[in-house]
Amino acid sequence: MSNGSRGGHVSPQRPPDWAATPPTTTAIAAAGAGAHTAATNNTSTYFQQATSAAAAAARDTYEKDLEALHAAHRRADAAERHASSMEAELAKLRAENENLRRDRDAHRDAARTNRATAESAKLEVDELKKELDVRKAREARAATLLAAFAHRGAECGRELCKRRVDASVSRLGRPGVIRTGLSMTGGGLREVWEDGEAVRDVAQKLYRLSDE
C-alpha cells in the first residue's frame, strides 16, 4: 500500500500543499472523502482479517474438540463391549462354580453314604466273626464231649464184657479173661481184657482160613 502500511493499516494520503495552492471547497471535500474511504477500507480489512483468524481458530478448536469427542465415544464403545464380554465371562464362571458346588455336594453325600455303608458292613462282619467264633467253640466243645462220651461208652462196654466173661468162665470152670492190650483213656493207659476162650477160637478160625 502507498504511503507506508503498518500493522495492516493503510495510512491516509498526504493532503496537498495548501500553502502553495489554496484548496477549493470541492478539493477539500474530495480530500476528506478520500481519507474517510481509506479509513473505512482499512477498518473493514482489519475486521475481516481478525474475523477470519478467529473463525479459523474456532474451526480448528471445534475440529479438535469433535475429534476428541469421537475418540471418547470410541473408547466408551470399546469399554461397553469389554464390559459385556466380562459380564458374559462372569456368568460363565458363576455357572461353572455352581456345577462344581453341586459336584462337591454329590461327592460329599456319596462319601458319607459309603462311610456309613462301610461302618455298617464292618459291624456286620464283626458280629458274624463273633458268631462264628462262638459256633466254633461250641462245635469244638461238642466234639470233645462226644469223643469223651464215646470213649467212656467203649470203656463201659469192655468192662461189662469182662464181667460177663468172668461170670461165665467161673460157672464153666474155664480160664478167665486174658489181657489183650492197652487202651488210651482220659485217665491214661488202661489194660484191655477179653474172653480168652473166644480169642483162641477166633485165632484158630483165622489160622484155618489162612491154610485154605
Q: What does the pLDDT look like over 182-211, one tens digit per residue? A: 666 665 655 555 655 666 666 667 767 766
With pLDDT > 70 as the criterion, what percentage of the chain qualifies? 52
Q: What does the pLDDT look like over 129-185, one tens digit per residue? A: 998 999 998 888 888 888 888 777 777 776 776 666 565 555 444 555 555 666 666
- The Cα-based distances of 193 to 131, 165, 177, 199 in angstroms read 45, 10, 6, 10
What is the pTM assigned to this prediction?
0.30
Please give the mean pLDDT across all residues of the chain.
71
Overall average pLDDT of the 119-126 stretch: 86
* 194: CB partners within 8 A, 6+ apart: 161, 162, 165, 177, 178, 180
Overall average pLDDT of the 35-56 stretch: 65
Q: What does the pLDDT look like over 171-186, one tens digit per residue? A: 444 555 555 666 666 6
Where is pLDDT greater, at 64 or 198?
Answer: 64
Overall average pLDDT of the 28-48 stretch: 60
Q: What does the pLDDT look like over 7-25, one tens digit per residue? A: 444 444 555 554 455 555 6
